Structure 1
């Protein structure tokens, strides 16, 4: 059952973590080093633990005790342990952030490469279309010139005949 649970968590795409467990409940700072766990179950940063130990009191048995700021239970200063679970959790969150950042950078690079390819293809199409337009424009001017010449060839004799007829009518 434990193996199934672990493989399910490892296979999860996103895991939501309450960020408050990654911060010291006294100073509200994210744990910058391995935090400390009191025997009552509460976790604090090393700086706050040092402050608590500096302000420690002597217990009934003559040992040094500190009062947990969360539950006020009096705890022997020897009953303070490093909380590697929270430290591992912090590292895994950092790893997830790095992986997400790398994944995002890779996706961005892929999008940029795709856009560049599309841009290059579009530029080639635009160049081909501009060349086609230039050729069509050249053909149009050539056709217009030929049409003018044909108009002169076809209508010149008619115009000449009409001019001659008009000229003759002046003298008749």
Structure 2
């Protein structure tokens, strides 16, 4: 009962507390993102800052928060140790982005970024399958259209031939009628009607 009363009082006072619009907007965006089946990711965020390619393998996260390909970060660490052998700690190097000193032992795999890359790869495979299925359907449709066009061309050729035959018969009929009319006129003039 006391708990209910406290909740009711808190709800009553909550009306008078100003709402943080930025927080509400952020919650709305996160809810939309959480409800979405697919979201758009800027490809630049998936590139290693060293090699400028999409992350290879499992990206490695430094203690400063930046991520790189394993080979790239090993090369950066090796190059830095080689260029300044007097460095007090041979097991540390500077982050290529923020220049903070990072211990190589504290480099961890960024599984969240790897999962994003894997899901994008999966989506692109699905898209490729869909595109191939669409292309196959399109090819089949084009083949059906070609067959239909050939069939229609043959039908048009038959119609042209039939029309030509009809015109030829019509011509012969006109000639025959004209011939009979001339014969009739000649005979009626000869025998007087």
TM, length-normalised to structure 1: 0.74
Q: What's the offset of the Cα at 1:108?
A: 2.3
1:58 is paired with a residue whose SS is: coil
Q: 1:18 matched to which residue of 2? A: 42
Q: Within 5 A, what are the aligned runs for 1:11-160? A: 11-12=37-38, 15-54=39-78, 55-56=80-81, 57-59=87-89, 64-159=91-186
2:187 and 2:93 mapped to 1: Cα distance?
125
Q: What's the offset of the Cα at 1:79?
A: 0.4
Unaligned runs of 5+ in 2: 1-26, 82-86
Q: What's the offset of the Cα at 1:163?
A: 7.8
1:129 and 1:5 mapped to 2: Cα distance?
58
CA-to-aligned-CA distance 1:25-58 (integer Å, 9 cap, x gap): 1232322222211111111122222123323443
Unaligned runs of 5+ in 1: 166-172
1:115 and 1:17 mapped to 2: Cα distance?
35
2:161 is paired with a residue whose SS is: helix
Q: Residues 116, 67 of structure 1: CA spacing in aligned structure 2 closer, same or farther, 3 A cutoff?
A: same
1:8 and 1:42 mapped to 2: Cα distance?
28
Q: Residues 155, 125 of structure 1: CA spacing in aligned structure 2 closer, same or farther, 3 A cutoff?
A: same
Q: CA RMSD in A?
A: 2.8
Residues paired across the two proteins, number: 157
CA-to-aligned-CA distance 1:79-121 (integer Å, 9 cap, x gap): 0111222222222222222222221222222223223323322
